[in-house]
Amino acid sequence: MSAEAVGRHMPAVVTLEDLAAMNAADPNGHRYETSPEGVLSVMPPPDSEHAMIASRLMAWLIIAGWPAEQVLQAAGLRVPGRDGVGGRIPDLTVWRKPPPRSVWSVAADVALVVEIVSPGSEAIDSVTKVREYAAAGIPRYWMVDRDSGQTVTLYRLSERGHYEEQARMPLSWLLQTAPGEHLD
């Protein structure tokens, strides 16, 4: 379908219900997200390296004792903002308690969000989502770069409501520690 045809069929305002339908209908596995300001983002399907990083982190958390129903890949989050509510699909979320069954869950019980940077998502993962997740009150945000060391930057929400960098280390080093050293 051409961009012109898509434009004719797009609603003037994309709601979370529209996003859910777009995600469900995409035969190629793209992720559709929107900022609280209504900016639509289309993410390509994750490649095998991306999936491997997410799987390693998920296994690390579960083996360390975090309940499996509280460590989720690609779970939708409602992200509140001044201008409305957006919908983001982090690569990995860690919850204080199992979230209710929903396409778009409230971020109140999220302990950690992990984003794995993919080509083309650098700016949104390192600027936009940092701001949105902090505004949602999520206490921890980790960003995994896909450089040669798969560098993980660990951020913690400050009392001022902004993330502060706590550590930066290769993924292989992080996986040699206990998750409790990094999570409250």
pLDDT digits (tens, 9 = 90+) for 131-140: 999 999 999 9
**In total, how many domains does the chain have?**
1
Residue 28 lies in a domain: no
Residue 30 lies in a domain: no
Tell me what pLDDT residue 4 has. Answer: 53
Task: Return d(Cα 152, Cα 144) in angstroms, integer.
Answer: 4
Q: What is the CATH number of the domain that holds 163?
A: 3.90.1570.10
Under the banding of pLDDT at 50, 70 and 90, the label for residue 145 is: very high
Q: Indicate whether this model's pTM tops 0.85.
A: yes
Whether 5 is in a domain gets the answer no
Q: Is 27 exposed, middle or buried (0-12, 13-18, 19+ CB in 10 A)?
A: exposed
46-67 pLDDT, tens digit each: 899 999 999 999 999 999 999 9
Q: Please report whether residue 55 resides in a domain.
A: yes
Instruction: Give the containing element (helix H, strand E) for 55.
Output: helix 48-63
* Local confidence band at 3 (pLDDT 50, 70, 90 cut-offs): very low
Q: Note whether residue 19 is domain-resident.
A: no
Domain extent at residue 59? 46-181
